[in-house]
Structure formats: structure tokens, C-alpha cells
Structure 1
């Protein structure tokens, strides 16, 4: 059975978490797709009962006969629009291809808080069983939160999953966790197994990854945040004052939605990129101090000088990386190395999730 996951943001985290929940329950489960593993190779081996598959819009565009048993759509926000003639409708329809070929025995788990999903998803033409989830209670929700408890109503009876032991932070990770838990429950994983597995999950690098702490200042690598929405979730999830390192190749960003959070939380903005004009213009008069550099080492040095105990230095670029780096992983690794060499002078800790 195939559990397939897409969305503009959160795909990898949700894919890894879903895989971890099934693996922890003893399932013969494979991890594949956009996450870097070949699904065809895994299927040919014929060793697994379940496949957890991350799917990008690019992969969905080439999907015709394939279908999921459980399809997950996390969110739809503007990204890769250059591939879709700058049409939000075309991009949304690409994401919604994850529902094609589903039958009445299959499931579609989706974020019912997402405005664009609600706008473009026509459930009256849909054959699968709808499993909407939200943060707050709604009458149609199959999962919602009461504090740290995830309330699920898949069978009509209310069940509670304690998520307080999860290392994942921020509102976006509440959505990711809800989707993964629903998929696991539909696959037959017991609630107590899910609760225990949530406490042992380790997320992928470059996603709110805590690199280290020195003199009361935490250094967090969120290099995977290559669009405005991902940065919004990072800023929203952190409660401490922030020295924000951002910039790179602009993808048509509109920073308006970040301005209220910036005014509230950001002490300084360090622009790391070749062309920082839009960032500077968007946050001038909102962030008290803005500087520019094309050196990640200089960015870390400036951040260290500006930060005080209790602050967070956050690399969360909102942009692609190709002006100064090979990819977002290269950018994140360079940041981690700079923090290690300049601030910590000790080995980098991998896969540690930043806590709020």
C-alpha cells in the first residue's frame, strides 16, 4: 500500500515522521520518492507491505496510472510558479493530482485550514474518503488539537494522542504531525505506539535544526525554508528575540506577511545574498538593524556580535540558494560549519530539533 505525501512545505518532515511511526510499529515499510530513494527499486525488491512516498509537483505532473491508498496534501502556497506560467490555479491542480485514481477504499488526508486547498479542491467529484484535519475544532475535522493532545475521530469514536513528547515545534509541525498520525492510524498503528514513536523521531537536517548554543544564544539552521511561508512558520514557532539571516535568489517573494512577526520578534536582519534590495526595502523601518554580506562566515560573526543571552540566531532564508551556494543543503552546511568554527569550536550536532 502506498502512502503518498505532497504539499508546498512540510513534505519531507511528514514523510519521515509517517515512515518512523510505521517502522516503530514493526511494519515492513519503505521510504521513497522525492526524499531521494527510488520507489521503483523498492517495489522490485518486493520486501515491503507499505511504501511512504514523498511527491513533488514535478513528479505529480508525470503521474497518470499510479494511485495512492492514502494521499496527503499538507498545504498549497505560491512556489515554483515559473513552471506553471505563474498561474496559482495550475500549480494547485498539479498538487491535487495526488488524488487522481483514488477509489472509495482509499483516503485523502488534507489540511482543511489551508485556504488554497479549500478553494481548488472539489470534494463532490472525488471518489476517495475525505479525512480533513485542522488545528482548532471544526465539525468536519477528523483530527484537531486540544493543547498538546491530538483528537482523532476516524471511526466516529474520539481518541486522543499525546504529542507533548514530540521534538517538532511550531504551528506548521502541528499540521505535519496531524497528517502523519492520521496516516499511521489508518494503516493500523496503535495510539500508544504512536505516542512513544513521537518522542524518538529525529527530523532531517536544515529544518529548524539546532546547531548549538553559546553564551545563552542558540544557533538554528533552517536553510530548507526557501519561501516566505516556511519562514513565517519558523518565526511564528520561536518565542525568543531573533537575529535573522535571510536572502538569496528571490522567487517573486512578497514579504508583507512576515512584517508583523518581524516587527515583534526580529532584532536584526543580516541579508546573505548577491541582491538584497527587496529584503532591505521590505524591512526598513520595521527591523531596527539591517546589514548585508555575501559571506556566511561574516554573517555568523555579525550575528554573534549582535546577539545577547536569550536570543536566537536563525538562518531561514526565504530564498533559493543558487547565488552563493550549490543548494540549500550546501548553504545549511556552510552555516553549521561557520557556527562551529566561529562560535562553538566543537563538533556540529546533527539532527537536533530546536525547541521553542
Structure 2
């Protein structure tokens, strides 16, 4: 069997290693440049590769193609592969065939990284043989090559779910839905929603779908589609007989008459959205038969995800918070909602068709100054110039943090929560977050 792999990043190289182990003839092709660390791995494992081009003849000779999630279907080579009838799969789909244990799949527009890491943390603290992969950490395929018997908690993007045919999580979680990546879905929100719900398409009556019962789009979809999995909701606003809900500042989580009660003041990560993330993780843990005490202790000692409402430092009694992973308005909504002191807000980058209206109430109430960090800040200026007194444009992280440190006073906060992609000034949201932390530490 011949496999062609498009993309020489984490998922592509991981797939190459697993495919090689399983006896495939492997050819990896990247239209861009492959990082040196990945080239080294490919060379060490005798994997044929190319960069800067796609040799169509070699790729179209494959029996199966693994397409990295960042490559759109409209790319010429992908169209040619599909026209020839060659199956195109994601790394998740390819690796799943060799997994020997169940997986837990977590998706959503926001909160999926935190929920994935939190779920992994709780299950690991319980002593389960557990791994974490997907849109986070080392690739699923590479880890399956080394430890196929582990239970994996997978963070799954819509792009990864687009490429599944047989993948089936025993427990699926949808944290929430809001418009994102619409450029990949013909600018149709319903197409993006369908992609997210692919997480449950292969589930059976023995499987579970955990979801946010306060999310209108999730409820709407579930009301018009048949799902085989057992539905397990969580909510901040209503009492539930089965699932998790909030009452008297306690999470009450009920699965098959087994109740867990967790005071929200004991949860290490703050904000209403993190109460929901904790609910989802608690429900998974209950299904995996984790002891109540272990669940409570794990939620109280969890460190949180880097670049997601990460407290960097307190300098001159000003708290600096790195929320660089907030690449859309909905993520920034959660960040501003969780702020309880006057805030200097650093915002901006590559706008993905943002509508800033839903942030207005929080900006009125909590934001004392806005620092625009991007090449084109016109939309942000137009949205908020009449709402805040201080608005300053910057084009470097050092400058933004220096100005913020002069504006913020004792007892206030500086929040980097861009609501935009990072590619105008940074290589990734991680790069943006690291630069923020470095600039803060240099104050």
C-alpha cells in the first residue's frame, strides 16, 4: 500500500512514522518549507519527502492520501486526488484504525483546549493509562505508533473532523459553537456547524455526547438531527436530572444516580466559561468511574492552558494576563466577562470577519483603555472609539506592553485578548503570547 502525505508538520510527520511502522510505502510532500526538526525525523526514519512543490505523479500513484488539517479542499492537488477517486483522510482517521482503546473527543469553537487538558489532567490523576493529542501536543499518529493501548483525550478542530470516516469517540464533547473559520466553509455558518457535529456521526447507543445545553446553535441542531449516542447536557441556567448544572455556587453533576458536588470556588481556573469546562471534564471523569475525591482535587490543582487567560505576573500591583489564544470574538467575550477590575485591553491582528457588537457591554463596563496591536486597526477603532476614552495604535508587542504599563494603575489589569488571528505581526498565537510574556517580564 502506498500513502502520500500532504503537509510536513506535526500531523504529517506523525502519520509518516505510523504508516512506515505499518508497512506502507510512504511519500511526504509539502508545498511550503518543512521545519528542520521534522526533516531530521523524516531522514532518520528513511521517509521520502519533498518541499516547495507537489509532484503530482507521485501523489496520484498513492492508494490513500493523508491531508494535514491546514490544507483546504480547494487546493489544486487535493481536487486532482479526489477526481481520481483516491481516499483522502485526516491524521485522526488514519491513526484511529490502529488504536487499541477508546478515545474521548473534544471539539467546540472555544474552550476545547482547556477542556481537553483539564479532562486529561483529571483522568491522569486517577491513574488511568492516558494520553493527550489531536490539535494539541504530539500527534495522535506518532503516539499510537508508540503506545496504541492508551486511552486518548483528543482536541479536535473542525478541519480534523472534516477528514474522518470511521473515527468514533466513546465520549464526545461539544463545548460551544460560534462563527469561526468561515472562509473554509463557503462563509456558511451551517457548514461549520455540520463539521463540528461530525464528532458524533459514528457514535452508537453505547456512546455519549456531552454538550452545552445553554448553547442555542447546539440545541437547534440536536432538535433537527437524530443522534444515536446518549445525550448528556450541562448548563449554568437550568436544573437537569442527568448531566451537570449550577446551583448555589456548586456544580452538581449526575450520571446514573451517581452525584458529584463541587463548589466553584474550589476550581483553579476562573470565569463562567471555565465552570462549563469543569462540568464537561467532571462528566467525562464520572463516566470513566473516577472517584469523587480525585475529581475535586484535580479540578482544584489544575494549572490551566498556556495562552488562555494565563496570569503572567503582577507588577506594581497590576495583573498581566495572556489570552493570546483568543483568536475570535467569542473567546475574547469570555475573557472580558471574567475580568472584575478596570482593564487595559490589547486587541487586534488579522480580522476574520469579526462583529464586535457582542463585546460592547463589557467594554463599557470594564475597559479603561484599548491598545490596538495590528497592521490594520480600522474596524476596532470604528467599533470602540466612542466607547473608551483612551485608544492607542501600536505595531509591536514591546510597544503595546510598555504603553499598557503606563496606563494601568494599582489594582487594575492588562489583558492581551486579541479576538483576531496573529499572522500580520506574529508567526502564530503562541509566538504572540510568548512575546507578550517576554515584554511583561522586561518591564
The normalised TM-score by structure 1 is 0.93
Larger radius of gyration between Structure 1 and Structure 2: 2
Distance 1:230 1:32 in 2: 22
Matched, 1:262 2:363: yes
Counterpart of 1:218 in structure 2 is: 319
Secondary structure at the aligned position of 2:402 is classed as: helix
Counterpart of 1:137 in structure 2 is: 238
1:201-248 deviation digits (Å, cap 9, x = unpaired): 111211111111111111111100111011110010110000000000
Counterpart of 2:121 in structure 1 is: 20
For the structure 1 residues 147 and 287, does the alpha-carbon distance in structure 2 shift closer, same or farther, using more than 3 Å as the test?
farther
Counterpart of 1:87 in structure 2 is: 188
Matched, 1:30 2:131: yes
Question: What's the Cα RMSD here?
Answer: 1.4
Matched, 1:311 2:412: yes
For the structure 1 residues 208 and 147, does the alpha-carbon distance in structure 2 shift closer, same or farther, using more than 3 Å as the test?
farther
For the structure 1 residues 199 and 307, does the alpha-carbon distance in structure 2 shift closer, same or farther, using more than 3 Å as the test?
same
Which of the residues 176, 200, 207 maps onto 2:301?
A: 200
Which of the residues 338, 347, 353 maps onto 1:237?
A: 338
Indicate if the aligned counterparts of 2:253 and 2:282 stay in contact, CA closer than 8 A: no
How many matched pairs?
A: 342
Counterpart of 1:72 in structure 2 is: 173
**What's the offset of the Cα at 1:311?**
0.5
The normalised TM-score by structure 2 is 0.75
Query: For structure 1, which segment, 312-321 or 139-148, has the greater mean C-alpha deviation from structure 2 after superposition?
Result: 139-148
Distance 2:139 2:258 in 1: 38
- Name the structure, 1 or 2, with higher relative contact order (CA <8 Å, separation 6+): 1
Indicate if the aligned counterparts of 2:104 and 2:153 stay in contact, CA closer than 8 A: yes
- 5+ residue gaps in structure 2? 1-101
Query: For structure 1, which segment, 228-237 or 140-149, has the greater mean C-alpha deviation from structure 2 after superposition?
Result: 140-149
Distance 2:355 2:150 in 1: 43
Counterpart of 2:290 in structure 1 is: 189
Matched, 1:55 2:156: yes
Secondary structure at the aligned position of 1:151 is classed as: strand
Distance 1:263 1:21 in 2: 38
Distance 2:242 2:177 in 1: 19
Indicate if the aligned counterparts of 1:134 and 1:141 stay in contact, CA closer than 8 A: no
Counterpart of 2:103 in structure 1 is: 2
**What's the offset of the Cα at 1:139?**
4.0
Distance 2:215 2:141 in 1: 32
**What's the offset of the Cα at 1:157?**
5.0
Counterpart of 1:346 in structure 2 is: none
Counterpart of 2:278 in structure 1 is: 177
Indicate if the aligned counterparts of 2:233 and 2:244 stay in contact, CA closer than 8 A: yes
Which of the residues 28, 31, 41 maps onto 2:142?
A: 41
Runs of 4+ displaced beyond 4 Å = none
Distance 1:241 1:18 in 2: 32
1:236-280 deviation digits (Å, cap 9, x = unpaired): 011000000000000000000001110011000000000000000
**What's the offset of the Cα at 1:165?**
2.2
Matches within 5 A, 1:299-338: 299-338=400-439
Distance 2:138 2:221 in 1: 30
